[in-house]
A and B are shown apart, each in its own frame.
Chain A
Amino acid sequence: MPAPHYQLIKQADQILSKCGRPISSFPGQNIVPFQHGILIQGTVGNDNTFVLTKEIPGDVPFLLRAIQAPSPTGLYINLQLPNGKYLFNREQEISQFQGIGSFRYVIDPEWECPPGSTFELTLDNSVVPSGGTVGLVLMLEGALKYSVKGKNPAIQDRQLSVSDLPRYVKNPNQNILAPAWMQGYYPNTPDSCEDSIFTYGDGNLNFTTMNVGTGPYSATQQINISSDSDFICSRALFDVRQVVGGSSPAGTFLARLRAGSGYSLMDDLIDVAQYINGSPFAHSWHIKAGDQVFVDLQLVDFSGSGSLTIETYLDGLKRKRR
């Protein structure tokens, strides 16, 4: 099979997509982004300001997608983009903006910067003078945008097909940063049912005290599911506490959750407080109305004297038929 033939495009007109985003008018053009980072570093003296300039290298545009920076105390910064616009209204106190790794400052939509244009970074150590020289290393992260004319039909016109996707939102001002639950979107409730939040745990049958000196070291808790509704359990909560008055009692509660119907959530006892406490289940546990959940407990690796308590809660949804 002959190798795909690609041709680097260095100049082409742009038109606006249906979303108003500038895209190439060149038929069959594809964008190949190469990851690239531009490092800016400098220092600024006490009670002083300093402006750093950094030019976009190479012969293709740079797509600015994120900024990573540490957080020197007392430093204010502002970043002027190559088109002359600033990222902030005025110097920004850096600790409210900086981030690294998953917590980097994201530029979305990406900002296309022509080759040869410049970023200007203002460091301001005069708003709250730190008392000494402050250094900053800031990384402009993104990609170099290579435009190619190719013959791979699988990636033809990708920009157009994405912008054509319909969007369904509850509100014009939805906030694209907000998670689904904040917008009122959830997995569908089955027809003829209604869901409401609920947390099981009556403070009695779900509560166990174990004395680390005398035992017994095993017990079974019980949580009775209401007979009027199924329960969609999305997480389990385990509250482990020391009883005041002992001599630093310590130990690990192992537990196994199982339903009266015979279904067991785990095949052996595990350290539930450490491994699954409060974390959402990958798949909800559907427990039938009127069923019971048993929590088999065992206390291991105990030391000291006195007592430990464990209280178990099931958090999720009551599902009633209308």
Chain B
Amino acid sequence: MKLSHSMQERHWDYVLGPPRLDLDADWSGQSVLASVASGQEIIGIPLNLDLDAPFLLRSLAVRCAYPVDNVGCTKTQPLDSLYMRFTGPVGDYFQQDFVPLNLFLSFFGQLGNPRAVFREVQYPAAGAIKVDLLNNGTTTLKNVSIYFRGVKLFPWGRRQAYTYPERMKTNPFNYPLTVSSLGVKQVIRNIQFQNVQDADFVVRSSQGGLNETTGTVFEIFFKFKDENQYPYSNVPVHADVLFGQASNESPNTFNCGGTQIQAFETGPGNPGLWYPEIYIPRQHSLFYDVYRDDSLYGCAATVNYPFTLNGAKVWPL
């Protein structure tokens, strides 16, 4: 195996917004983005990048909060009226003017379909991305969030870098996990996932979603961290973006041509990928925080929220 890269890549999601939940301080100090009113144009929203590492932007996603008054608790984000443009590392725009996001991003980059940035963009440590937004529709978009997904670059040895043994054997394996009795409005921090199996485990993708006959989950966010508590995102990432979509979950629908269409070719076979994958040696751990605020949704209830870490077992030979 030959390495062509002199730096260690590490999965990283930068999130612009949403405003912090009032039950948690994790969003404090971060760039936030609140509602975008009908017809509103916001210019130059800064996303300040971390000081510790350069960032390679490789994909995009966007979402907003599900409308509270939706009929039958369907999951439709009225994002077809949102237009965006953003800047590169020296403040140069990558779009000549506002671009409608319903054209730019399939499923808005959600459900395991991040929109490829098909020449990665390298931003320096402590750099900034500026985002312009326009809501060209008649509905206020609440908690608009822009996801800049990619990798951070570290000198080898700066961060945890477990990897495969020289000689090994692998086998596909899934770790089903459940966030038990997750309340309608609740934060649970530092849940420990320990790899207690007979082999190392490498996380390549994750899948989540509710498969219960009662209750629906709308605004649920995850923040994963390695065993040194160094996170994989600046703020929690919504499950719609981080995971795929379980097949029995309440389906996401998307505005299209004056009607709504259901997402297709998403589901269990199209999970949210981690790049690079996360290698967890035997007996080692991964941590995650869960945030949920569905207090405004009438059909929300306390649930056991299932999600899965998919990947492979690795046995040294």
Contact = CB atoms under 8 A, between A and B. Distances in A.
Contacts of A199: 94-96, 99, 104
Nearest to B164: A172
Contacts of A91: 176
Contacts of B139: none
A173 B226 CA distance: 15
Contact of B209 (A95, A169, A242, A277): A95
Nearest to B81: A241
A109 B176 CA distance: 21
Contacts of A87: 172-174
A74 B174 contact: no
A95 B96 contact: no
A186 B276 contact: no
Contact of A234 (B118, B164, B175): B118
Contacts of B247: 71, 95, 98-99
B119 A167 contact: no
B128 to A, nearest CB: 17
Interface string A28-49: 0000000000000000000000
Contact of A166 (B2, B138, B202): B2
Given A93-B246, A99-B269, A197 B121 contact: yes
A137 interface: no
Interface string B267-302: 111100111111100000000000000000000000
B58 A237 contact: no
Given A99-B268, A103-B267, A201 B9 contact: no
Nearest to B93: A198
Interface in B52-105: 56, 58-59, 88, 92, 94-100, 102-104
A213 to B, nearest CB: 19
A239 interface: yes
Contacts of A202: 96-97
Nearest to B277: A175
Contacts of A313: 99, 103
B15 to A, nearest CB: 18
A71 B204 CA distance: 23
A92 interface: yes
Contacts of B207: 96-97
Interface in B132-188: 138, 151, 161, 163-164, 167-176
A89 B212 CA distance: 21
A197 B119 contact: yes
Contact of A16 (B276, B306, B307, B317): B317
B116 A179 contact: yes
Nearest to A71: B247
B8 interface: yes
B197 interface: yes
Given A93-B246, A95-B268, A182-B275, A169 B4 contact: yes
B248 A95 contact: yes
Contacts of B151: 184
Contacts of A302: none
Interface in A162-177: 166-177
A107 B212 contact: no
Interface residues of B, number: 79
B1 interface: yes
Contact of A175 (B104, B269, B276): B276
Contacts of B176: 88-93, 96
A184 B4 CA distance: 11
Q: Which residue of B3, B269, B273 has the most chain A CB atoms within 10 A of its CB atom?
A: B269
A5 to B, nearest CB: 34
A174 B11 CA distance: 11
A167 B202 CA distance: 19
Contacts of A238: 103
Nearest to A273: B257
A196 B119 contact: yes
B91 to A, nearest CB: 13
A102 interface: yes
A20 B9 contact: no
A22 to B, nearest CB: 9
Given A74-B211, A96-B209, A177 B118 contact: no
Given A73-B248, A95-B211, A128-B304, A197 B59 contact: no
Interface of B: 1-5, 8-9, 56, 58-59, 88, 92, 94-100, 102-104, 106, 114, 116-121, 138, 151, 161, 163-164, 167-176, 197-198, 202, 204-205, 207-209, 211-213, 246-249, 257-258, 265, 267-270, 273-279, 304, 306-308, 317
Interface of A: 16, 20-21, 71, 73-74, 85, 87-99, 102-109, 111, 128, 130-131, 166-179, 181-184, 186, 189, 195-203, 234, 237-240, 242, 244, 277-278, 311, 313, 315, 317
5 contacts: A74-B213, A103-B269, A172-B3, A173-B161, A196-B94
